[in-house]
Amino acid sequence: MPQRKNAKGAQPANPFFWKHPCLPQVSALMKTFSIGQRPSGIAEMAKEHLGTGGKRFRALMTLQAADLLGVSQRSAIYWAAAVELIHNATLVHDDIQDGDTTRRGRPTVWKKHGVGQAINVGDLMLMVPYQILSCADFAPAQLRQLLGAFAHRTVETVRGQSLEMTLKDNLNFDRDTYIQALRGKTGQLLALTVEGPLILSEVDPLRASQIASGFEALGIAFQIYDDIWDLYADKGRGQVGNDLREGKISALLIAHLERCPEDRMVAAEILSKPFEEVTTEDVAFWERRFEHSGAKAACETWAEEFVEMAVTTVPDQPLRGLVEDVATALGLKNLKERS
């Protein structure tokens, strides 16, 4: 999932995209279903996490796609709530996996309530979306297609998350595997936002899946840019080099090792250093190294290729405009200005 905490400074204003009259209804659905009929500890914890907000980016994408495709808002809000909840579930579990102690400026669920309950809260928000789908007013014939798409892509999200963690434990990673991980952990939920409205607008499911894959590509492009921004960001984005400090595999590192395989051992050393032992000099060293090897430029080209792929995969109308809005919102490219 996009590590949006690292990308604040990179998001240009795109006010039309960030608002939608149905968003409050989506948030209400998310809360109602997560809380359930009885007050309980887990309901409170889920409410607390959902109360931290977030931009509801995936819900907005769903609502925008539904508008463009002429899908009823009544159906779209259920799909939007389901996708957004899965996203939040992955955040809660991610925070345990990464040991992150804050999210959206508040303590993470595991930090506040312990790992065990955070697993439960994540599990709840993985399951509730299916309850939401069963309660929506989808036509019976469409429900199977919608369920199939939803289940397939959420399974792929988990696979991607796991694959990325495998990469960290193993320096024998390669570009294809890295992309596969990004396509899973970030791409699938972005694709799902539009796949639901496409199926609801009676586009053939296979075609819906193909079009949606354009949004997978946007997710991949975003993650590659995010890796670049982490090291070369403009002022105002906080400390640079957090990926290196945290020992994360990044697109920069992969591109660099393609060019300088002899650096593998030095790379392994920096990745295995504890966070606080990585110095500003270490970060500056790799900044220069990635620039000199051409890794930075290669990653920029690489990300641009995925944006291009998104543009060519999504047909001109009516969803091309959404590709442009999402790309702009994610700080990828102002496609409108470029063309």
| Per-residue 3-state assignment (H helix, E strand, C coil) for 82-140 | HHHHHHHHHHHHHHHHHCCCEECCEECHHHHHCHHHHHHHHHHHHHHHHHHHHHCCCCH
- For 255-304, the DSSP string reads HHHHH-GGGHHHHHHHHHS-GGG--HHHHHHHHHHHHHTTHHHHHHHHHH
CA atoms within a 13 Å half-sphere pointing along the CA-CB vector of 246: 17
**Burial grade of 138 (CB within 10 A; 0-12, 13-18, 19 or more):** buried
Of 136-165, binders to its own copies (CB under 8 A) are: 140-141, 143-144, 147-148, 150-152, 154-155, 158-159, 161-163, 165
How far, in Å, CA of 145 to CA of 56, rounded?
Answer: 24
Residue 226's CB: how many other CB atoms inside 10 A?
A: 25
Q: Which is nearer to its own copies, 271 or 329 (CB)?
A: 271
Q: Which of 10, 61, 96, 251 binds its own copies (CB under 8 A)?
A: 96
Q: Which is nearer to its own copies, 70 or 116 (CB)?
A: 116
Q: Which of 72, 97, 101, 272 binds its own copies (CB under 8 A)?
A: 97
Q: Which is nearer to its own copies, 96 or 212 (CB)?
A: 96
Q: Is 278 in the site for its own copies (CB under 8 A)?
A: no
Of 117-136, binders to its own copies (CB under 8 A) are: 117, 119-124, 126-128, 130-131, 133-135
217 close to 306: Cβ distance less than 8 angstroms: yes
Q: Is 171 in the site for its own copies (CB under 8 A)?
A: no
Q: Which is nearer to its own copies, 14 or 142 (CB)?
A: 142
Q: Is 36 in the site for its own copies (CB under 8 A)?
A: yes
Binding site for its own copies (CB under 8 A): 36, 40-43, 45, 93, 96-97, 115-117, 119-124, 126-128, 130-131, 133-135, 140-141, 143-144, 147-148, 150-152, 154-155, 158-159, 161-163, 165-166
